[in-house]
């Protein structure tokens, strides 16, 4: 049986953990990218050539999905903190979730789309 806690001491643990794991993935990708950029190893043509590699597409995709999940937890926290009216809160959460699903589709199109 799957226990789902809407309230109580354990509510939010999964989100808390997901925020840290996705954060680590994003941090790793960003740090490698920034170091390569500052070291001058990443001019625009070299950057574009990277996308020919499947492993780089997958690494970028994993990072983007982590960004979207991370943004979901973060934006939901912000909405829950500042918006009290249930209808507005729900509407904003739906808006954020919808945007992130659209972005996921867009990310796939960017990474695997025809040139």
Partner 1 sequence: MAAPTPTTSPRRTYRNINVSDLARYRLPLPGIVSILHRISGALLFFFLWLILWLLQASATDTARFHTLYANPLVKVIVFALLWSVMHHLCAGIRYLYLDVSHRATDLKPARQTALAVIVVSLVLTLIVGIKLW
| Interface contacts to partner 1, rule CB under 8 A | 20, 23-24, 27, 30-31, 34, 37-38, 44-45, 47-48, 51, 67, 71, 74-75, 78, 96, 99, 103, 106-107, 110-111, 113, 115
Phi and psi of 67, rounded to 5°?
Answer: -60, -45
Least separation in angstroms between residue 97's CB and partner 1 is 12
Closest distance between partner 1 and the C-beta of residue 71, in Å?
5
Whole-number CA gyration radius for the chain: 18
Closer to partner 1 at the Cβ: 7 or 44?
A: 44
Give the sign of the dihedral formed by CA 6, CA 78, CA 109, CA 48: negative
């Amino acid at each position: 049986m799957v226990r789902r806690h809407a309230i109580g001491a354990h509510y939010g643990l999964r989100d808390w953990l997901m925020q840290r794991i996705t954060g680590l993935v994003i941090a790793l990708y960003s740090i490698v990218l920034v170091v390569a950029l500052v070291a001058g190893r990443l001019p625009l043509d070299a950057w574009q050539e990277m996308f020919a590699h499947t492993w780089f597409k997958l690494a970028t995709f994993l990072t983007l999905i982590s960004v979207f999940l991370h943004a979901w937890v973060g934006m939901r926290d912000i909405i829950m903190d500042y918006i009290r009216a249930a209808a507005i809160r729900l509407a904003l959460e739906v808006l954020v979730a919808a945007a992130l699903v659209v972005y996921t589709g867009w990310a796939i199109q960017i990474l695997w789309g025809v040139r």
